[in-house]
Structure 1
Amino acid sequence: MFAHTFTGLDVHAVNVAGHALNPATGEISNHTMASDPAVVLEWVRRFAPPVKVVYESGPTGFVLALYLRDAGINCVVAASSKLLRAPGDRIKTDQRDARVLAEMLAVGSVTEVRIPDPEKEALRDLSRLRSGTAKDLAHARQHVNAILLRHGIRYPKETRWTQEHGPWLHRQRFDEPALQFTYQADVEQAELLAEHHKRIDKQVAVTAAACRYGPVIDALMCLRGIQITTGYGLAVQSGDWTRFTGPSIGSYLGLVPR
C-alpha cells in the first residue's frame, strides 16, 4: 500500500526531531518532542494513515521501533552505514537529518536493519558483554607486560598468564613507589577481569544450552576451532542464517578484508 506520509525521526536520548512529508500534497511538518515513545506515537498519529516511519540505527536501540509497531505503525530502522550522504555535505542538524531520512524513505532508498525482539536483543547483549570483557582483559594484560618489558624483566617460561605465572607476577618489585603502585594496580585489574571473564563464560554456557539457538550453536561447534562461546556469538549475532550467502556472511562477520 502506498504510504501517504513518510516520517523521518532523528532520535536522541533527550529529544526527537521529526519531519513528516506527504509527496502527494507536498505538505511538510516539522516537530521536536521529548524522547518518549508515547509522545512520538501521539505526533505520528496526527497524520492520516497509512504512515511509514524511519529512524537511523544507533545507541538508542529498537525500543521506539517496537513500541510504534505494537501500536500498528509501520516503522523501520535504517542502517546508518548505508545512508547516502554527499561528500561535501558537512551541515548536520537534527531537523536536517530527519528530513533526509524522510526523503530517502519516500524514494525507497533506505536499507533496513532487522529489528530483534527483546529476547534476541538480550542474548546479543550477553554476547557483547563477553566480547567487551575479552578486549578489556587483553588490554589489561598488555599493560602489565609493557611495564615489565620497559624495565627489562622477562618471564623465564614461554607461556604466560598461567597458574605459575600469577605468583611470579606478585613477586616482582620496583624501587620507585609510584611504579610499584602502578604495577600492582595493573596486575590486580588483570586478575579481576580474568575472574569476571570466567564468570561470563559460565553464564554463556548456561544460556546457550537453554536458548532457541541451541541447535545452531551445537552445529557450529562441530567445526574445528569453534567452542561454545564463539558458537554462541555467531548464532545470536547472525540470527537468521538464510538471509546470507557464502560471501555475504563472511563480510557480515568481519572475516572478509575491506
Structure 2
Amino acid sequence: MFTERTSVGLDVHARSVAGAAIDGVTGELFQKKLPPGNDRILDWVRTLPGPVAVVYEAGPTGFGLHRALTAAGMRSVVAAPSKLQRPSGDRVKTDARDAVHLARLLRLDEVTPVSVPTADQEAARDLVRAREDCRGDLMRARHRLSKLLLRHGIVYDDGQAWTNKHDRWLLQQHLAGAAAQAAFDAEYETVLQVKARRDRLDRAIEGLAADSEFTPLVRRLGCLRGVSTLTGFALAVEIGDWTRFTGNSIGSFVGLVPSEFSSGQSRTQGPITKTGNGHARRLLVEAAWHHRPRYHVGAVMQGRWEQASAAARARGDLGNRRLHERWVRFLERRKRPTIANIAIARELAGWCWSLAVMDD
C-alpha cells in the first residue's frame, strides 16, 4: 500500500524535468518545471510535505536520480514504461500531464517497477553492451570490405572467411587504381581497428568474470553447452536479479514466448513477442544452436565444469542431455530448425535460471 503523504511524478529528459506532486492530505497539486540535475530535483522535492515517494520512468538518463533520492531517505520507484496504464481516450500528451499521471499511478500502487542495478552492476552492463556494439561494428566493417572486393570481382573461396588464412589472403590483394586501393586500405584498416577494440573488451570482460561478484554465477552458467564465459557474464549482468523470475516466467521476460490473441473459444498464437531484453534473447538463441549436435563432454566443457560445484555440474549435464533430446524430437517431427531453436532457447532460459538461483 502507498503510505507516504505526497506522491511525486517526474517526467525526466536530458535537458528538462517536469515535476508533479499530489498531497494526499489536502489534495493539492504542485507542479514545477525543473532544470536537469539531481541536486535541483532534490531541493524541490524537499520543499514538499513529507514523507515523500517519487516515481519516474526508466530511460536513457539511467539510475543516478534513483540512487540520489534513496540516499536522501526517500522512497524511489523506477517505472517500467511498457507497463504503465493510460486511458484509451487520453489524446493529449505533454511532459506536465505525464508527470501528473505518474504521480497518480504511484498513489494507486499501479506502477510496475524495474530492477535497479547497483553502480557496479550498471558499469558491468555498460561494458557488455559496449562489446555488443563493437560486435555489430565489426560485422558491418567486414561486410563493407567483402562487398568492395566483390564489386571488383575478387571472392575468397579457400575455406572459412575471417581466419588467419583469410587475413593473409587479404594482405595480398591489390586493386587497380589509386582510388580503389585507397578505399580498400581504409576498409581493411577499419576491420583491424574494430577487431582490436573487440579483443580489448573481451579481455576486460574475462577479467571481471574471473574476479567479481558475478564469478560464481558465470561458472554455474558455464556448465551448459553454448554458454561461454562471455555469454554467461552477459546474461548475468543483463538479467541481474534472477530471483524475480521462475523457470517459466523468465522466457516471457526475454521475449521468447509466443504472442497470443484469444477471445471466447478462439485461441490464436503468433510469433514470439520479442519483448524485454533483446541482448539476452540473442545470446540464448545463439546458445541454443549448440545443443543440436550429439552431446559429449569435451575438453572445453570439462574445463568449465572443474570450476563449478558438483551440484552445478550435475544440473548442467542434465540440462544438456534434455535440450539435445528436445532437438532430436523436433527433427524427427520435421519441425523447421529456426522454430525448433526458439523453443530450445526458451527452455534453455529456464535451465539458466535454475543454475542462477542455485546455492553454491
Moved more, 181-190 or 125-134: 181-190
Name 1:60's counterpart in structure 2. Answer: 61
Aligned-partner SS, 2:225: coil
Aligned-partner SS, 1:130: helix
Aligned-partner SS, 1:8: strand
Equivalent residue letter for 1:238: I
Equivalent residue letter for 1:151: H
CA distance in 1, matches of 2:153, 2:216: 50
Name 1:110's counterpart in structure 2. Answer: 111
Structural mapping, 1:27-42, within 5 Å: 27-42=28-43
TM-aligned CA distance change 1:56 to 1:167, over 3 Å: same
Name 1:223's counterpart in structure 2. Answer: 224
Name 1:190's counterpart in structure 2. Answer: 191
2:141–2:187 Cα contact (<8 Å) kept? yes
| Identical residues among aligned pairs (%) | 45
Deviations 1:141-196 (A, max 9, x none): 12112222333321022301111111222333333544433332222111111111
2:22–2:30 Cα contact (<8 Å) kept? yes
TM-aligned CA distance change 1:158 to 1:250, over 3 Å: farther
Moved more, 82-91 or 235-244: 82-91
Name 2:136's counterpart in structure 1. Answer: 135
TM-score (norm 1): 0.92
Name 2:14's counterpart in structure 1. Answer: 13
Aligned length, in residue pairs:
258
Name 1:164's counterpart in structure 2. Answer: 165
1:147 and 2:122 aligned: no
CA distance in 2, matches of 1:88, 1:173: 64
Name 2:328's counterpart in structure 1. Answer: none
Deviations 1:217-245 (A, max 9, x none): 00111101111000100111122212112
Name 2:212's counterpart in structure 1. Answer: 211
Deviation at 1:88, TM superposition (A): 6.8
2:115–2:241 Cα contact (<8 Å) kept? no
TM-score (norm 2): 0.67
Structure 1 unmatched ranges of 5 or more: none
1:239 and 2:240 aligned: yes
* Greater RCO (CA < 8 Å, at least 6 residues apart): 1
CA distance in 1, matches of 2:65, 2:52: 15
Aligned-partner SS, 2:176: coil
CA distance in 2, matches of 1:135, 1:2: 47
Deviation at 1:46, TM superposition (A): 1.3
TM-aligned CA distance change 1:202 to 1:2, over 3 Å: same
CA distance in 1, matches of 2:86, 2:179: 50
Name 2:120's counterpart in structure 1. Answer: 119
Deviation at 1:207, TM superposition (A): 0.8
Aligned-residue CA RMSD (Å)? 1.9
TM-aligned CA distance change 1:44 to 1:135, over 3 Å: same
CA distance in 2, matches of 1:230, 1:63: 27
Structure 2 unmatched ranges of 5 or more: 258-271, 274-360
Aligned-partner SS, 1:175: coil
CA distance in 1, matches of 2:145, 2:85: 44
TM-aligned CA distance change 1:128 to 1:88, over 3 Å: farther
Moved more, 108-117 or 144-153: 144-153
Name 1:49's counterpart in structure 2. Answer: 50
CA distance in 1, matches of 2:252, 2:63: 23
Moved more, 207-216 or 182-191: 182-191
